[in-house]
Amino acid sequence: MSGSVGKSAGRIVYLFKRKIMASVNKVILLGTLGRDPEVRFSANQLPIASLSLATSSFRRSAESQDRIEETEWHRVTLFGRQAEIAQQYLRKGSRAYIEGRLRTRKYEKDGQTHYVTEIVAEQLQLIDRRQDSPADGNFSDGNSGYTPSRSASRSSGYSSGNQYASQPKTQNAFDDEEPPF
């Protein structure tokens, strides 16, 4: 192990021990929408979109060696301009790349406590190419602003009070012509 790698690894261990860097909450999904986005508005008129995104993996059956598809469904929530973009460009069957974080919330219904785990999207990238979509299909949540990866950032006019907003993302590392994996 080289000296710089050893020092870096030692620093990371030190940070964990000091509880400065205690955890990571990061989700990356590439999947297909199971239904059209549902958009509602918060009390301060912030658009909120809910998506149902399917991801699939394959495995071999132990007995017959047949290929078996296993599908997982994910609840995804988008805020601000990303919610508007999802409503405008995504439909059932659309493919999307989502980066975000897990959030679990609870609510009461009929005296029962229910828990819901969902992904709060911080970045949305449209995978399907539609004529009315932006050239690169990339939408980052930089305080709810629409931020294409290859052009200047624009403010959407929403207040920066969005508690779910993240810092602006850097330029997308994926080429539009290549799948992001």
- Supply the pLDDT for residue 163: 37
List 95's β-bridge partners, or say none: 32
Contact 127, 97 (CB under 8 A): yes
Opening angle at CA 39, ends 100 and 96, nearest 5:
40
Residue 116's Cβ-side half-sphere holds a number of Cα atoms within 13 Å equal to 14
- Supply the pLDDT for residue 61: 84
Contact 96, 89 (CB under 8 A): no
pLDDT in tens, the chain (181 residues): 555 555 666 666 666 666 666 789 999 999 999 999 999 999 999 999 999 999 999 988 888 888 889 999 999 999 999 999 999 999 999 999 999 999 999 999 999 999 999 999 999 999 975 555 454 555 554 443 333 333 333 333 333 333 334 333 433 444 444 444 4
What superfamily would CATH give domain 25-140? Nucleic acid-binding proteins (2.40.50.140)
Contact 76, 121 (CB under 8 A): yes
pTM (global) more than 0.75: no
- Supply the pLDDT for residue 53: 98
- Residue ranges of domains in the chain: 25-140
CA distance linking residue 94 with residue 128, whole number of Å: 6
Task: Name the token pair of 174.
Answer: 């994926």
